């Protein structure tokens, strides 16, 4: 099995878990990353460096200084159902946004920024899973 196929399988497994938890899930055309949403917030996911990585997304009043997201790194935590659910409500850390005013990115804002490059499609779940 090639690395890309392995990464796609892991992304599909993760997406399936998120769908089962009630989230809307979208996977990029490449198949190795995507995002999930509760309808108002977005968490990105990607298999990277040997594990699934989650990232939060935000907009700030000073995007050149703050960027637009942060990786929710915690190597000691396995990405289980609780972590998937908790990540959707996690606020950006102070080191990420500094003194800027911020708001969490909506699904509409996220798609407007990344849809052309990633070509996301909704993942509705695997039959029989």
- Reply yes or no on whether the pLDDT at 105 is more than 60: yes
Among the listed residues 17, 48, 12, the one whose alpha carbon sits nearest the alpha carbon of residue 28: 12
51 domain residue, yes or no: yes
- Model confidence at 77, in pLDDT bands (50, 70, 90)? low
Q: How many CA atoms lie within 13 A of 14 on its CB side?
A: 29
- 22-53 residue pLDDT tens: 999 999 999 999 999 999 999 999 987 778 88
Which pLDDT belongs to residue 34?
97
| Residue 88, domain extent | 3-123
27 domain residue, yes or no: yes
Extract the tokens encoding 80.
């289980």
Extract the tokens encoding 38.
């509760």
Domain count, the chain: 1
128 domain residue, yes or no: no
> What's the whole-model pTM score?
0.88
Euclidean distance between CA atoms 45 and 108, whole angstroms: 17
């Amino acid at each position: 099995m090639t690395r890309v196929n392995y990464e796609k399988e892991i992304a599909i497994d993760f997406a399936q878990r998120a769908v089962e938890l009630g989230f809307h899930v979208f996977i990029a055309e490449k198949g190795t990353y995507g995002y999930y949403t509760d309808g108002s917030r977005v968490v990105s996911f990607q298999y990277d460096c040997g594990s699934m990585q989650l990232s939060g997304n935000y907009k700030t009043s000073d995007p050149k200084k703050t960027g637009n997201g942060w990786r929710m790194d915690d190597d000691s935590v396995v990405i289980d159902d609780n972590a998937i659910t908790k990540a959707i409500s996690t606020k950006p850390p102070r080191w990420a946004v500094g003194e800027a005013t911020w708001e969490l990115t909506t699904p509409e804002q996220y798609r407007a920024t990344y849809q052309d490059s990633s070509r996301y499609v909704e993942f509705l779940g695997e039959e029989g899973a």
